[in-house]
Structure 1
Amino acid sequence: MNAIELPITGMTCANCANTIERVLRATPGIASAAVNFAGERASVMFDPAQVSPAQIIERVRSAGYDVPLAHVELPVVGMTCANCANTIERVVKKLPGVAAANVNLASERASVDYLPGTASIAEIVAAIRKAGYDVPTQAATAGQASPLEVERAARRAEIADRRRRLIVGLLFALPAFALSMSRDLGLLAALFGPNFAPMTGAMAGHSMPEHIAINWILFALALPVQLYTGWPYYRHGYQALRNGAPNMDVLVALGSSVAFGYSAWVVLSRSGEHVYFETSAMILALISVGKYLEARAKGRTGAAIERLLGLTPKTARVLRRRADAEGVADEEVEMPIAQIAIGDVIVARPGERIAADGVVIAGHSAVDESMVTGESVPRDKQPGDPVIAGTLNKEGVLRYEAARIGQDTLLAQIVRLVEQAQGSKAPIQTLADRISAVFVPAVLFIAALTFAAWLLLSGDFQRAMINAVAVLVIACPCALGLATPTAIMVGMGKGAELGILFKNGAVLEQAAKIGVVAFDKTGTLTQGKPAVAEVIGFADATPESALALAASAERNSEHPLAQAVVAAAEARRLPIAPAERFQALPGRGVTAIVANGATPAGTHHLVAVGNLRLMQAQGVAVDGQAAQAVARLQAEGQTVMLIAVDGALGGAIGLMDTPRPEAQAGVAELRRRGIHTVMLTGDNAAAAQAVARAVGMDEYIAEVLPADKAAKIAALQATGRGKVAMVGDGINDAPALAQADLGIAIGAGTDVAIEAASVTLMRNDLRGVAQALDLARLTVRGIRQNLFWAFFYNVLLIPVAALGIFQQYGPILAAGAMAFSSLFVIGNSLRLRRAQV
């Protein structure tokens, strides 16, 4: 299965998103489709053997919506006949992400529409060249439109179109409303006298009654609004009905057209009855005001992701070898970012952004990584240190070798994760989706019922009609559709700015319910870099010989404790012998056959290094003086590694791993919020107690094997204190992270951690745990406020409209209320951008 993210334009309410989902899911080869109305994106999983991205785009367009595409014109060399053009078209159209390709033999140009991020100019050029033709190098290396640029262009075009239609609507609707109000309030007669009768003779050859003349003026003012401002609602409404999924456009189009149609019949029949041209015009104008402001506000909900996307520079200075009469030398060549290759050496001057993930090979500088990791203090970089694409070089000149480029960089990975998370649905949205699916049919039924009831009870056709129109216009499925996705988009974006990455909307909702946070000790609560504090030799062994034997056995281990033992032996310049038959025993230690170096030449010893459980398994007794020494080390908070040589106890090593500087503050923040904190560790009880006391932990569980951590998490879940979060490194704690209701990987800038954890904290700071939970709670609270408003608005105001409380101005007030309801939801969501967490 392949995944594709499609930007979509033309959606006006949540029902539009549901329609697109239904159309896509009905397409053979599409496994799943999720459409985010607020984010204007579709996430699709599909089988490329059955359906192509171009066909998926066509399905979206067949439903009445659009997918913004990039366009490129490429000169093609080598064509000799029409068949050449057909061949190029065929091979280019086969590329994933190419929606259309047209090759003109006469002009020798290929015109291609493609989806940025799925297809690229380089891939198109490669396909043309593989078919036996060529594209000039200058054209082939032209700058490519990024997905961000294409979406920005589409959004700007949409906003510009809404603005034009809004201006036209207001230019004609406001005079129509003013004229109608003046007539109804008697202001025209007061100003021009009782015999005011404009438009005499010219239209009918004789004087025209005042009210009929005014009706013709209103008709002339309302017609442009209906045809131009209202056209998108009619077009989308028709497409929605054709798809069997009536939406907001149907309600607006029906409401305005009923008022306009009835009024047009009155004018053309010269019946002289009251007309409602100003009503139809103001409905469209006011709703267009709301939609215009909504389009602008929705753009701000994705501002954080746009800032992330804008971090990567468009060009980079790459070192290239140049040979001339004076010899071979490196020169800096500025080239588009798309042309950088792995292994290229790139130069970053002060004030320039890093173009690719890589490793510094020359230079010293401080790099600001705040926009990617949330770390506010610039980090010093020197040869051997990693650099991240999108970060800002502050001081010196750096030369670094590109290791990951384009879509493989950490920044691109973060952007993908945030986009996917913003496009996901939270469980709380399920109810809103179910209501949205039946909302419009229900409103149509209520409007019909309103019309019938008023007509039967009052016999007043005009009042029955105007109240029914008010019901159609005041109902707002948009607020329901925007309630959850706008809050999720803003919350996820805020998190990305703080270096907090949520996997999806369900994770965000789960994080808001956390009552217990469990921490792994080593590397999470502590520095993760234990150091040897004391070495004791038993029997005939000296501390030096015991340490040398332990280091010889541990040299092949990746465990932090093992690395600390080896480092201590190397620092003391002790001989480290080669080891054979090395075996790592998770949660216990290691065994190995050690020969030479640390032992007399020609001898071999079975060395076991680990905890008391390993000694028991090896049949090694730990008693008497040895037991007392071990107890003393443990009481001091040291982790004890015992050394057995050929089945006899040979020594003990005490190691200390100091807590992180911010660990106490991070735990205190959680406890202040009423969250129960627990530490899980494989250490003995004394060492665990020392660390737990130092960081202020509520509870600790010692001597836990890695395989048993998941069971301990399950036990915590059964206590009834609430949902349980597990904080670990994202790799070694995978079972526990999976068992927890919420898995949090801290300071893990690795692919595995970002993909595996529910929440990833890019900043290596435990205070980020409380930040993440606070942000989740604020976001979920915003969602609930939005949903309450959306439900309250519709439940309260639809009956008000049906009862005709505002009489003939009901539809106009309804249109204004409808526009305001969506803006309230978006505005409430945008407040999260200013939230302090």
Structure 2
Amino acid sequence: MTLVQLGRRGAPPAPAALDPAATAATAATAATAATTDGRTVTIPVTGMHCAGCSATVQRALAATPGVRDAVVNLMTANATITYDSAIASPPALIEVIRGSGYGAELPAAGANAMAEQDALDRAQDAEYAVLRTRTAAALGVAAVAMALAMLAMHVAWSRWLQFALATVAVAWPGRRFYTGAARAVAHRGANMDVLIALGTGAAYLYSLAALAVPGWFMKAGLTPDLYFDAVAVIIALVLLGHTLEARAKRTTSGALRALVSLQERTARLRRGDADVEVAVEQVVRGDLVIVRPGERLPVDGTVSDGEGAVDESMLTGEAMPVVKRAGDRVVGGTVNGAGAFRYRATTLGADSVLARLVAMMRAAQGTRAPIQALADRVSAVFVPVVIAIAVVTLVSWGTLGGPQGWSNGLLSAVAVLIIACPCAMGLAVPTAVMVATGRGAQLGVLIKGGEALQRAATVDRVVFDKTGTLTEGKPAVARVIVAPESPVGRDEVVALAAAVESRSEHPLGAAIVAHARAGGIAIPEVMAFAAEPGGGARGRVRAREVRVGNARFAAAPGGGGGAPASAPVPAALADALAQAGDRAETPVVVSVDAAVVAVIAIADQVKAGARGAVEALDRLGVESVLVTGDIEATAQAVARQAGITRVVAGARPERKIAELAALRGAGHGVAMVGDGINDAPALAAADIGIAMGTGTDVAIEAGDVTLMRGDPRGVARTIALSRATMRVMRQNLGWAFGYNVLMIPLAAGVFVPLTGWRLSPMLASAAMALSSVSVVANSLRLRRAVRA
């Protein structure tokens, strides 16, 4: 898997983590990955049904020699283990998991995150189908058993038929609880299956004894009551709860399922003189892939010929199609709209952008948020404590409850065993993390796990870099100012300047050429081209002498830039030159036949969403700071356009880190927003590092959060989503703990002397079924959190 190291601030990530090619060996979630602390492996675990199950596996792994850390996630059914490779190994770790009573195996060699997620989705679907079948059968059996208990309770044959129905419920729909409990006990563990098996088993055996030897009960002063209907109803309602929970779990992974579904199964290739359709696994680097209108791209690559409008919303969240021409990169999973083109396959399998996204999301959803620690500690001892409470309840009622004390004690003890729910505690945090990371992906925000979410929620200061973060990161024409007395118009000025600059290699010249092409302006041929370093370029275009460069060069007579300026600069253009510094622009002066006619202002333009991002952060109570290596005038100009008041200019990398340290030292939660490569040390030094991605060049491995659209407004979305997630986590944990703290005493009959309230085992099973479903349903509200 791709190892996500969170919370280790102060050191830049390893260079390999920023190299897409370096992710080839790490994209598969079951592949081992080297770390500074050893090696990490993620192993799928089967057979886990509750928090007690995951706690048992985690406890067994943690006690294994050579294991430094183990995280078992109930939602993703994975165990992520960091171990010393000199002492432990993946096969040995698998045996430890199997020895704790659960299934585990490494995927086939070469399997990547896409294949593993697809297999997990199919396994979840199969489990859901089985649960639905068994739940339907259990509900039918329970309905008949209840009807018999109420309508024919005194008929002899009815009692035996209830026994038969309860036996069917135990032997088929409820068998999973008993086999799970037996497995857990055999491996010295305890989980929810143990509670269900003890509760229903005690009621079943008591009822069987009362049916077989009622006289013994009467001699002992006990009523030979039957609870076969309760056994059937409890099994049915618990299974119903598991079914609803399984359905909700499938929904929580909807974003990940949607990503996996984007992978095309086949590709159309040009091989030799023929077009052939092959399985996508058979595509090799360099193959020529053919894409027609409306088709989904099967692999990543570079456009060879043709043109298409590609919908990259699966990657960036941006619905506007992007025109792709020769030389442009394209990503597998995106959809071609209008047009047709061919492209060369480049990155395949685990290296592809889609596979890396799936791997990263799986890794994120498998991480543990710090807030989960308390729930883990409670879950580890929960089942033994509940069993102890049930025994105390039975004995207390039996010795102090009068003639019906033992009967009431049995009912209360069964209710305690049934109503206790460790699942709600185990699901409280992982479900919220899973839904939040999925929602983030829909918003174009890749959040790398629960710890990143928790830290992002504390941010109250955001430090922005300038280039590529608040600005586009490349020079572009901002304005074209033409002198009123110019003999040539605006488009002609751009055409003449672009003609000269088409022969230049200067980035400012390239910006002028790109501006002309984007505006559909034809670029004429240039003759007698010459460039002067530090001055500009000149040439003859359409029989005119055109000079493009700084004011001194452009205004000079036919000689070089060292000649005295002879052409006057019109007042309108002089004003534009004077304003350039304040507007963070670089002025390029154009003269035609020794007359200065225009100024082309070029700037690294502020992104359209920059001001909106700062305003959104203000509404969240978060202060924005610009820290950049640029000069003061440029930094202040960009800050004014973005709406930022606090600026630190001329900051070298070490100064950026010092500014971050000062903010953190003052007690602020600090996020650093940069390009993910040049700002790597600063990203690592902040509480949360947010890297800017741009479409197909998204830096998936950089930072704790990656903004896949390259839109700074994603920073506010990240913080808002993180805060909403933390609220849901706290609500879930509050519900999970509060439910057990209130309902267990109620089931034990603590309130009977005061209020007469007593909870039957059947009502207890209904309450337990709803408890974990409520937690998952609350987490699902995050699917609508934060507007795009």
TM bin, normalised by shorter chain, reads 0.7 to 0.9
Secondary structure of the corresponding residue to residue 275 of structure 2: strand
Partner residue of 1:167?
Answer: 136
2:249 paired residue number: 298
1:829 paired with 2:779, answer: yes
The code of the aligned residue for 2:51 comes to: A
Q: Which moved more, 1:746-755 or 1:726-735?
A: 746-755
Cα pair 1:522 1:528 within 8 Å, conserved? yes
CA contact (8 A) 2:469 2:710 kept: no
Determine whether 1:774 maps to 2:720. yes
Give matches, 1:619-634, under 5 Å.
634=581
CA positional deviation for 1:832:
1.5
Instruction: Output the TM-score relative to the length of structure 1.
Output: 0.73
Checking the alignment, whether the CA contact within 8 Å between 1:676 and 1:698 is kept in structure 2 is no
1:61-100 paired onto structure 2 within 5 Å: 61-67=98-104, 97=106
Residue 654 of structure 2 corresponds to: 707
2:465·2:627 contact (CA, 8 Å) conserved in 1?
yes
What is the CA-CA distance between 1:822 and the residue it aligns to? 0.7
State the alpha-carbon separation in 1 of the partners of residues 133 and 512 from structure 2: 74
1:664 aligns with 2:603: no
CA distance in 1, matches of 2:614, 2:374: 36
Mapped partners of 1:389, 1:240: distance in 2: 44
Aligned pairs for 1:233-312 (under 5 A) are 233-271=177-215, 273-312=224-263
Query: Which residue does 1:813 correspond to in 2?
Result: 763
1:517 maps to 462
Give the residue type in structure 1 aligned to 2:192.
Answer: M
Tell me: CA distance 1:688–1:250, structure 2 relative to 1, closer, same or farther (3 Å).
same
Structure 1 counterpart of 2:324, which letter?
K
Call closer, same or farther: CA 1:376–1:632 in 2, change over 3 Å: closer
Cα separation, 2, equivalents of 1:402 and 1:215: 71
**1:366 corresponds to which of 297, 309, 327:** 309
The one-letter amino acid paired with 1:671 is D
SS at match of 2:202: helix
Q: Measured at CA, do residues 340 and 52 of structure 1 come closer, stay the same or move farther in structure 2, by a change above 3 Å?
A: farther
Residues 116, 147 of structure 1: 8 Å contact kept: no
Amino acid at match of 1:798: I
**In structure 1, C-alpha distance between the alignment counterparts of 2:109 and 2:135, rounded to whole Å:** 30
- The alpha carbon displacement at 1:577 in A equals 7.3
SS where residue 755 of structure 1 aligns?
coil
- Taking the aligned partners of 1:532 and 1:156, their CA distance within structure 2 comes to 54
> Where does residue 19 of structure 2 map in the other structure?
none
Q: 1:792 & 1:151 partners in 2: Cα distance?
A: 33
Counterparts in 2 of 1:749 and 1:33: CA distance versus 1, 3 Å: farther
Listed one character per residue, the Cα deviations across residues 274-302 of structure 1 (whole Å, up to 9, x for unaligned) are 12111222111110110111112111111
Question: What is the CA–CA distance in structure 1 between the aligned matches of 2:93 and 2:303, rounded to whole Å?
Answer: 43
CA contact (8 A) 1:9 1:154 kept: no
Contact kept in structure 1, 2:720 and 2:786, CA below 8 Å: no
Q: 2:77 aligns with which of 40, 45, 57?
A: 40
Contact 1:4–1:118 (Cα < 8 Å) also in 2: no
Distance 2:625 2:665 in 1: 14
Deviation at 1:753, TM superposition (A): 3.3
Contact residue 613 and residue 716 of structure 2 kept, 8 A: yes
Task: Provide the residue aligned with 1:180 in structure 2.
Answer: 149
Residues 39 and 486, structure 1, Cα contact 8 Å, conserved in 2: no
**Deviation of the 1:744 alpha carbon:** 0.7
Shift of 1:164: 2.8
TM-score by length of 2: 0.77
- Residues 1:569 and 1:265: Cα distance change in structure 2 (over 3 Å): closer
Match of 1:677 in 2: 624
Aligned CA distance change for structure 1 residues 793 and 533 (closer, same or farther; 3 Å) = closer
Superposed counterparts of 1:206-605, under 5 Å: 210=154, 212-271=156-215, 273-321=224-272, 330-459=273-402, 460-530=405-475, 563-564=507-508, 574-575=530-531
List aligned pairs for 1:6-21, cutoff 5 A: 6-21=43-58
- CA deviations over 1:701-745 (Å, ceiling 9, x no partner): 12211231111111222334x311111101111111111111111
Say if 1:639 and 1:687, in contact at 8 Å, map to a contact too: no
| Deviation for aligned residue 1:42 | 2.5
Q: CA deviation at 1:54?
A: 5.1
User: Please, which of 727, 731, 739 is the counterpart of residue 673 of structure 2?
Assistant: 727
The RMSD of aligned alpha carbons is 3.1
Aligned counterparts of 1:374 and 1:682: Cα–Cα separation in 2: 31
Distance 1:750 1:29, change over 3 A: farther
Task: Tell me: CA distance 1:799–1:18, structure 2 relative to 1, closer, same or farther (3 Å).
Answer: same
Deviates more, 1:47-56 or 1:239-248: 47-56
Asked if structure 1 preserves the Cα contact closer than 8 Å seen for 2:364 and 2:447, the reply is: yes
* Residues 318 and 332 in structure 1, CA contact (< 8 A), matched pair in contact too: yes
1: CA distance, partners of 2:635 / 2:294: 46
Mean Cα displacement is larger for which, 227-236 or 305-314?
227-236
- Partner secondary structure for residue 75 of structure 2: coil
Deviation at 1:766, TM superposition (A): 1.5
1:767-806 correspondence runs (5 A): 767-803=713-749, 805=752
Contact 2:412 2:759 in 1 (8 A): no
Q: Secondary structure at the match of 1:397?
A: strand
Aligned partner of 1:762 in structure 2 is: 708
CA distance in 2, matches of 1:798, 1:667: 49
Query: Which runs of 5 or more residues in structure 1 are unaligned?
Result: 70-96, 99-113, 120-144, 189-209, 322-329, 535-550, 556-561, 579-628, 642-652
Q: 1:423 to 1:240 in 2, by over 3 A?
A: same
CA contact (8 A) 1:279 1:809 kept: no
Structure 1 letter corresponding to 2:531: P
Distance 1:706 1:783 in 2: 36
Task: Report the Cα distance in structure 1 between the residues aligned to 2:601 and 2:66, rounded to whole angstroms.
Answer: 60
Which structure is richer in relative contact order (CA contacts within 8 A, separation 6 or more)? 2
CA 1:414–1:796: 2 relative to 1, 3 Å: same
8 Å Cα contact 1:366/1:396 also seen in 2: yes
One-letter amino acid of the counterpart of residue 699, structure 1: R
Q: Against the structure 1 CA distance between its residues 118 and 419, is the aligned structure 2 distance closer, same or farther, given a 3 Å change threshold?
A: closer
1:152 to 100, 107, 121: 121
Distance 1:26 1:342, change over 3 A: farther
Give the Cα separation in 2 of the matches to 1:769 and 1:7: 33
Task: Give, in angstroms, the shift of residue 500 of structure 1.
Answer: 0.8
Of 242-251 and 256-265, deviating more is: 242-251
Compared CA separation, residues 337 and 637, structure 1 to 2 (3 A): closer
Q: Deviations over 1:642-690 (max 9, x none)?
A: xxxxxxxxxxx99732211221112111112221011112233333222
Cα gap change, 1:466 to 1:835, in 2 (>3 Å): same
Residue by residue over 1:545-583, the C-alpha shift from the partner in whole angstroms, topping out at 9 and shown as x without a partner, is xxxxxx9xx98xxxxxx84489789999553779xxxxx
C-alpha separation in 1, matches of 2:650 and 2:421: 58
| Larger displacement relative to structure 2 (786-795 or 271-280) | 271-280
| Distance in structure 1 (CA, Å) of the matches to 2:101 and 2:722 | 35
Secondary structure of 1:361's aligned partner: strand
